[in-house]
Structures are given as C-alpha cells and as structure tokens.
Amino acid sequence: MSVSYQINCQGQLLTLSSPVVMGIVNVSPDSFYDGGKFNDETNILPHVEQMLLEGAAIIDIGAVSSRPGSKYITAEEEIKRLIPAVKLIHHHFPAAVLSVDTSSADVAKLAIENGASIINDISAGEFDSMMFETIARLQVPYIMMHMQGTPQTMQQNPFYENVTLEIIRFFVKRLEKLRSLGVKDIIIDPGFGFGKTVQYNYELLASLRSFEMLDCPLLVGVSRKAMINKVLHTKPEEALNGTTVANTIALMNGANILRVHDVKEAVEAVKIVNELRRPNKEIILN
C-alpha cells in the first residue's frame, strides 16, 4: 500500500493517500510526442478542460523540450512561451493545481506569481544554482528529477554500476540540501528515459519500492517513451497500451503520481489498482 502524503499547493492541500494523475500540457514546438499541438488558447483550453474532466489532479505545463538531443533555449524564450499559457489556464480554471516544468529559478518565480503552485525541475537544481533558494523562498512543492547528463548528452552511452542505488544516493544529497533550506514538500522522480538505457529503465521500474526509504512522494513519468516503444517496436502515437501497462506496474510498485499524456487511461489504471488493494473484498463466484 502506498504511503499517504499531503502536499500544500499554495494553501490547497493535495492528498496522495490514493495515487493521482498529472496531465501534460506541452507548449513547446518540439516535444517528442505532442510538440506544436498546444500553442494557443483555442488548442490549450479544450485540452486542459478534457484532462480535468477525466480526473487529472495536477496540470503540468512545460515550454522547453527535454527529448534526447533537444535544443537549448534561453530563459527569455521559455518565459515568452510559458507565462501566457500559465496565465491563461489559471484564469479559466482557477481551482486547478498547476505545475510548471522548468529548470530556471527566474522562470519558476514568474510562474508561481502568475498562478502555478508546483515547480517540476528535471535537473534537480543542477542547471540553476539559485533554484533551491528560490523554492525555499517561494515555499511551494518541488519535484526534482534525476538525469545523467543533459537532454543534449543524456543518451550518449549512459552507465551505472547500480542504477537504483546511485539514484537514491543522488536524491539523499539533494534532499539534505533542500531540507536544510526549509523546503518541506518534495517529490522525487527517478527520471525514466533521462540518461538511462531500456534495461536501466526497467530495473528502476522493478525496484521503485526502494525509493520509499527517502520518505517522499514518488512521481513516475513513462508516458509514450522510448522504453516502451523499443520493447514493443511502436511509435509514440501507438504507445498508449504499453504506457498503461507500465503505469500499472508503477502503481503496483508504489508510485504516488503518474505524469501522463492520456489522463483517462491513467485514472482507470489507478481505479483498478485501488480496487485490488481495497480490504475485505467479497469473493464472487460466477
């Protein structure tokens, strides 16, 4: 059974006694699956509305592609793409919990000031030395992900002696620094596909329970990624079934948050796993 956590999202408590689903909104033109689909309000708002109706507890907005080999963009360009989308979504869905996918402290600050309440940082503070201090000042939940290298280099022969142990050690050091600054709500993401081979990704998926020792909610993002497509010989557009299978395994192994492109299917996976865990189930013989 997953450990129960609560995170304070700008005064709104999000309870993780049951796993929740985070829906992805990419406003970057070059994301690996849906790049360029959501670049103005006529596309963004119906997409967000659908995800909320389907049961998304968090909407995660990103303006920088982190696919392997993606190009670096400046903070100014990121702000130009991101902040209008955050304002737009917050205005139309003021009760929605918004997360912003950024590794820039300046972008994080602006996003929080304009309606976001969670920062999701793929670099765990390593790309911007001011990120941890900024999060401490803002006092918002912080998702930190593990990545070996950068998006430009991460898939160039990644290597680990013990992938799970090395990532846990990485998080222990980062958690110590964050907690010393007074950051309370910290979520960890092992970083599937970020500097990991297919084999390393599945080793991580099988050993997710090991991360419980860190006493933080666990986010898993495997949606339509290469770790699925390389096994099934599919393209991202064809990877929904494989994603649902991987998400279900993640839930069985203790995931608290699923970050996905397809909310309805992920919510259904949560419901099935919750039913399996429900105590005192009656045995019905047909």
Q: Of 117, 103, 23, 112, give the one whose Cα is nearest residue 66.
A: 103
Quick one: pLDDT band at residue 249, thresholds 50, 70, 90? very high
Active site residues: 225, 259
High-pLDDT (> 70) share of the chain, %: 90
Give me the helices (H) in the chain, please. Answer: 41-54, 75-92, 105-113, 131-138, 163-180, 198-206, 226-232, 240-252, 263-277
Q: Would you say residue 152 has pLDDT above 80?
A: no
Q: Would you say residue 128 has pLDDT above 80?
A: yes
Region 209-236: mean pLDDT is 97
Q: Write the pLDDT tens digit of every residue in 57-83.
A: 999 999 987 766 557 788 899 999 999
Q: Would you say residue 56 has pLDDT above 80?
A: yes
Q: Would you say residue 136 has pLDDT above 60?
A: yes
pTM (whole model) above 0.95: no
Q: Would you say residue 1 has pLDDT above 50?
A: no
**Rounded CA separation 223/259 (Å):** 7
Q: Would you say residue 256 has pLDDT above 70?
A: yes
- pLDDT of res. 266: 98
- pLDDT of res. 157: 76
Q: What is the residue-averaged pLDDT of the chain?
A: 91
Q: Write the pLDDT tens digit of every residue in 86-115.
A: 999 999 999 999 999 999 999 999 999 999
Contact 50, 180 (CB under 8 A): no
Contact 257, 16 (CB under 8 A): yes
**Rounded CA separation 260/257 (Å):** 9
